[in-house]
Amino acid sequence: MSQVVQSRRLRAVDLAKRKAAGEKIIALTAYHAHTAGILDAYCDFILVGDSLGMVMHGMESTLPVTLEMMILQAQAVIRGTSRALVVVDMPFGSYEASREQAFMSAARILKETGAGAVKLEGGARFAETVAFLTQRGVPVMGHIGLTPQSINTMGGFRVQGKGPDGERILLEDARAISEAGAFAIVMEGIVEPVARAIATSPQVTAATIGIGASSFCDGQILVLEDMLGLSERTPKFVKQFGSLRAHIEAAVKTYADEVRAGRFPEDAHTY
To the query of whether residue 23 is one of the catalytic residues in this protein, the response is no
Interaction between residue 187 and ligand KIV (CB under 6 A)? no
Centre a 10 Å sphere on the Cβ of residue 21 and count the other Cβ atoms it contains. Answer: 7
**Min CB(222)–ligand KIV separation in Å:** 8
14 carries a ligand binding annotation? no
Q: Which single residue brings its beta carbon nearest to ligand KIV? A: 49
Interhelix angle 99-113/127-134, rounded to 10 degrees, is: 50
Interaction between residue 206 and ligand KIV (CB under 6 A)? no
What mask, x for binding ligand KIV by CB under 6 A, covers residues 123 to 162? --------------------x-------------------
Please, are residues 91 and 50 in contact by the beta-carbon 8 Å criterion?
yes
> Looking at beta carbons only, is 29 or 94 nearer to ligand KIV?
29
Among 68, 128, 167, 188, the one annotated catalytic = 188
Phi-psi map region of 147: left, alpha, beta (phi>0 left; psi -120 to 50 alpha): beta
How long, in residues, is the chain? Answer: 271
By CB under 6 A, name the one of 78, 171, 182, 186 that touches ligand KIV.
Answer: 186
Interaction between residue 217 and ligand KIV (CB under 6 A)? no
CB neighbours of 44 closer than 8 A, spacing ≥ 6?
A: 10, 14, 15, 18, 25, 26, 27, 84, 85, 219
CA separation, residue 169 to residues 127, 144, 195 (Å)? 14, 10, 12
User: What CA–CA distance (Å, rounded) separates 261 from 256?
Assistant: 9
Q: Which of residues 50-79 bind ligand KIV (CB under 6 A)?
A: 50-51
Instruction: State the SS3 of 51-88.
Output: CHHHHCCCCCCCCCCCHHHHHHHHHHHHHHCCCCEEEE
51 carries a ligand binding annotation? yes
By CB under 6 A, name the one of 29, 113, 160, 178 that touches ligand KIV.
Answer: 29
2 carries a ligand binding annotation? no
Virtual CA dihedral for 232, 235, 239, 242, nearest 10 degrees?
-10
User: What CA–CA distance (Å, rounded) separates 92 from 107?
Assistant: 16
User: Which span sits near ligand KIV by CB under 6 A: 48-56, 106-114, 167-175, 240-248?
Assistant: 48-56
121 carries a ligand binding annotation? yes
Please, are residues 159 and 223 in contact by the beta-carbon 8 Å criterion?
no
> Looking at beta carbons only, is 61 or 266 nearer to ligand KIV?
61
Q: Which of residues 96-125 bind ligand KIV (CB under 6 A)?
A: none
Interaction between residue 49 and ligand KIV (CB under 6 A)? yes
Q: Which of residues 219-248 bind ligand KIV (CB under 6 A)?
A: 221, 223
Q: Give the number of residues in contact with ligand KIV, rule: CB under 6 A.
A: 12
165 carries a ligand binding annotation? no
Please, are residues 11 and 55 in contact by the beta-carbon 8 Å criterion?
no
Please, are residues 238 and 227 in contact by the beta-carbon 8 Å criterion?
yes
Footprint on this chain of ligand KIV (rule: CB under 6 A): 29, 47, 49-51, 89, 143, 186, 188, 211, 221, 223
Catalytic residues, by residue number, are 188
Query: Where is the binding site for 3-methyl-2-oxobutanoate, in residues?
Result: 50-51, 89, 119
